[in-house]
């Protein structure tokens, strides 16, 4: 089931990302920040089918808060935001469903930094792994090709890598 959200912008000093009030279909309010507030449609509901769980929303919220705090500086901010990013992805994104949901959510909300982290994590899964391993790891069961097509691609692949 898709979730719809209404948003209200609040005043905040630039260049800190603006706070965002998200009102879920069930009437619950959440607060979040976004990297590119001006591109968000003001006051209109947007569809966010990828935010299917409180866990995904919680991750978006944590990421946004820590990055906003880091942008402000001060004693509470993490000293090394890149290291925090790596630790965050390692700690929180432990299965492909969560990776998928977070990637979709970050991209839908145009949180580019988080979207890039998700893309990189997926790319790291793909690199240096066989086709079968990639399918298994990313949960791709329906290849959508006939065995003949797969065989032809295998030949093409071998030709490119000069394996035969």
Partner 1 sequence: MDGLPAELCIKIFHLLDHQSLASAPQVCRKWNTLTSDDELWRRLFKDRWGADAAAFYAPEGSRSWKDVFIVQDRCDRYGL
Q: Which residues bind partner 1 (CB under 8 A)?
A: 96, 99-100, 103-104, 107, 115-116, 119-120, 122-123, 126-128, 130-131, 134-135, 138-145, 150, 153-154, 156-157, 159-162
Beta carbon nearer to partner 1, 31 or 157: 157
Minimum distance, C-beta of residue 91 to partner 1, in the bound complex (Å): 20
Minimum distance, C-beta of residue 136 to partner 1, in the bound complex (Å): 10
Q: What's the farthest any 2 CA atoms get from each other in the chain? A: 63
Minimum distance, C-beta of residue 115 to partner 1, in the bound complex (Å): 7
Beta carbon nearer to partner 1, 14 or 141: 141
Which pair of structure tokens corresponds to residue 52? Answer: 């299917």
Beta carbon nearer to partner 1, 36 or 72: 36
9 phi, psi to nearest 5 deg: -85, 145
One DSSP character per residue, 95-148 reads SHHHHHHHHHHHHHTT-HHHHHHHHHHHHHHHTT--HHHHHHHHT-----S-HH
Are 46 and 101 in contact by the 8 Å Cβ rule? The answer is: no
Minimum distance, C-beta of residue 16 to partner 1, in the bound complex (Å): 26
Task: Give which of 117, 122, 106, 118 is closest to 35, Cα–Cα.
Answer: 106
Beta carbon nearer to partner 1, 26 or 130: 130
């Amino acid at each position: 089931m898709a979730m719809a959200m209404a948003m209200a912008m609040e005043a905040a000093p630039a260049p800190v990302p603006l706070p965002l009030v998200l009102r879920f279909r069930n009437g619950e309010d959440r607060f979040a920040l976004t990297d590119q507030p001006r591109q968000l449609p003001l006051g209109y509901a947007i569809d966010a089918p990828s935010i299917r769980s409180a866990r995904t929303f919680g991750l978006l919220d944590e990421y946004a808060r820590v990055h906003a705090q880091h942008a402000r500086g001060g004693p509470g901010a993490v000293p090394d935001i890149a290291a925090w990013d790596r630790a965050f992805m390692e700690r929180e994104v432990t299965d492909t469903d969560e990776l998928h949901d977070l990637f979709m959510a970050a991209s839908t909300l145009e949180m580019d930094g988080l979207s890039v982290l998700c893309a990189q994590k997926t790319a790291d899964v793909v690199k240096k792994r066989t086709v079968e391993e990639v399918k298994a790891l990313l949960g791709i069961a329906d290849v959508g090709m006939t065995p003949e097509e797969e065989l032809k691609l295998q030949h093409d692949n071998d030709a490119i890598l000069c394996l035969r």
